[in-house]
Amino acid sequence: METFSISILDLIIVLIYMAVIVWWGLKNGKSQDSQSYFLAGRSMPWWVVGLSLFAASISSTTLIGQSGDAYHTGLAVFNYNLTGIIVMVFFAVFLLPLYIKSGIFTIPEFLEKRFDRRSRYYFSGICIIGNIFLDAAGALYAAALIIKLILPDADLQSIIIIFAIIAASYTIPGGLSSAINAELIQAVILILGSVMLTFFCFQQGGDYFFQLFSNDDMLTKLIRPLTDTATPWLGLIVGMPILGIYFWANNQTLVQRVLSSKTIDEGRKGVLFTGSLTMLTLFIIAMPGVIARHLFPGLEKPDMVYPNMVLQLIPTGLLGIMLAALLSALTSTISAILNSTSTLFTMDFYAQFNKKADSKRLVFIGKITSCVIIVIAALWAPQIGKFGSLLKYYQEMLSYIAPPIVAAFLLGVFNKRINGNGAFAGLLGGLVMAIGMLFLKNEIFGNMHFLLIVPFLLLASGIIICVVSLCYPKPALEKLKDTVFTPADLKADFKANQALPWYKNYYSWAAILLISSALIWIVFN
């Protein structure tokens, strides 16, 4: 593995940044009661929600995984983010109001309100396992890779433990408020640092990218043939939206930030603000990854692309800022996951079994849970290196986990006839099928791309949910209150927003996002 050295100045900048983040997070923490600790008192304005959501979403998978994938396959990896923007609009219009009106702490809690406790416990358990072994461990592993480039003799496990302690030091004492306030700084530094890296990247390899684009090279195409190994066009339609709904609308780590918003309107604007920031990833992640093919030919490990760009392209002084930006993405992910996972365990399990627990007790359990989570993630993180790349590791796992859950949510929100028995049967049936596909994928589907397999699992789970639901009585009316979307809701919402100036109407910003997404697909087609 190639190694690099950094100046004392750059090292000092990184250390100062880490110290400031910890201090700022602790300074702005709230832990006096459960609502303050887990949801920051439901008091956040739209711009805070948006920046926090963006920082939490730019995980190791996004930053390091997508740049590595762009290095090998081109801009097509940006389709995940572009589809995500479409999903964010869908989430803001249809699902977000129900989440906030229902007063939930966790997304699995919504399933209990709509269905029953069985679905809540199942989904919460899945989320906890995924958060620990996919997200938290992945972020710790990515951080360790970067440090290993600078300190090759350092022990991988030791580096992981140090980063775990840094993220935990402000998140555990201060809760979601600490995490969100730290993420504000992290988001700004991440954006500025990434723009700076893009500038230096284009300065040294921009001609290469423009040559590819002018020659209509497949590396610059978002829409790919059905036989493409990266993102076949059909997978873009039938697979990515399902994974996107799970990531943006069913993911406790991200949705928890939306639940902290002051009002439904603030939450919606925050999500759409995140959508506009996510559009930047085409220029700050995907394009630099393609240019890196020219600047650093022959890199064997995809996860090393982004760290190599940072360490080789950024001059002394500015390198410290860029490393701080890179570490911002990783520490913000870890802190976000810590708080969301402790919320899941505390509110979905402990609070249900100990009904007498007061707010202080719940906060205490949340802190203990966070400690346990970070220890498990730190121990598992070194194993991720065996999966080839972070992106492959994450996408493959998510493609099996997401479809049954997405099916339960969508059918539950848009169909009043679906009941708890149907939802639970679909979730369990989907899990069994997912496990079967995991081990028998080649025998059943051959070499079919995983994005094309996702809809089969969604459809099968949906059929189970519908058939079993029809075998049992309709759900009680109280199960439908603030949990089911109706056309009347949309009509009333649209009418209320019509009276607002266009720049205050979230529909206007949603339309701008959708049009911008369509234009990007057209330009890079």
Tokens of 246: 């799970």
Identify the CA nearest to 76 among candidates 266, 183, 223, 178: 223
**Which residue range forms the structural domain that includes residue 385?**
8-398
What's the pLDDT tens digit per position in 92-146?
999 999 999 988 888 999 999 999 999 999 999 988 888 888 778 877 887 787 7
Q: Which of 108 and 396 is assigned the larger pLDDT?
A: 108
Categorize the per-residue pLDDT at 26 as very low, low, confident or very high, splitting at 50, 70 and 90. confident
* Residue 94: exposure state from Cβ atoms within 10 A (0-12, 13-18, ≥19): middle
Half-sphere exposure of 196 (CA within 13 A, CB side): 21
Higher pLDDT, 182 or 392: 182
Average confidence score pLDDT of the chain: 86
Type of residue at 133: F
- Report how many domains make up the chain: 1
Distance CA 188, CA 267 (A): 20
- Is 80 exceeded by the pLDDT of residue 383? no
Q: Of the candidates 6, 24, 28, 26, which has an alpha carbon nearest to the alpha carbon of residue 16?
A: 24
Instruction: For residue 202, tell me if it sits in a domain.
Output: yes
Maximal CA-CA distance, the chain: 69
How large a percentage of the chain has pLDDT more than 70? 93
pLDDT level of residue 39 (50, 70, 90 thresholds): low
- In-domain check, residue 492: no
Considering the domain boundaries, does residue 449 fall inside one? no
Residue 120 token pair = 């809540």
Predicted local confidence at residue 193, as pLDDT? 83
| Residues 6 or more apart in contact with residue 214 via CB below 8 angstroms | none
365-373 average pLDDT score: 89
Give the confidence band of 151 by pLDDT, cuts at 50, 70, 90: confident
404 domain-assigned: no
Residue 434 counted as domain residue: no
Which range (31-45, 282-296, 367-381) has the least confidence? 31-45
Q: Is the pLDDT of residue 1 over 60?
A: no
Q: Is 479 part of a structural domain of the chain? A: no
Residue at 453 is within a domain: no
Q: Residue 42 falls within a domain, yes or no?
A: yes
Domain CATH code at residue 233: 1.20.1730.10
Mean pLDDT of 341-353: 89
Rounded Cα distance, 78 and 55, in Å: 17
pTM: 0.87
pLDDT digits (tens, 9 = 90+) for 241-279: 999 999 899 988 888 889 889 999 999 999 999 999 999
Q: Which percentage of the chain shows pLDDT scores above 90?
A: 39
Give which of 70, 518, 82, 85 is closest to 287, Cα–Cα: 70
Give the model's confidence band at 489: pLDDT under 50 very low, under 70 low, under 90 confident, else very high.
Answer: confident
One-letter identity of residue 26: L
H helices present in 28-95, as ranges: 34-39, 46-57, 60, 66-73, 79-90
3-state secondary structure of 280: coil
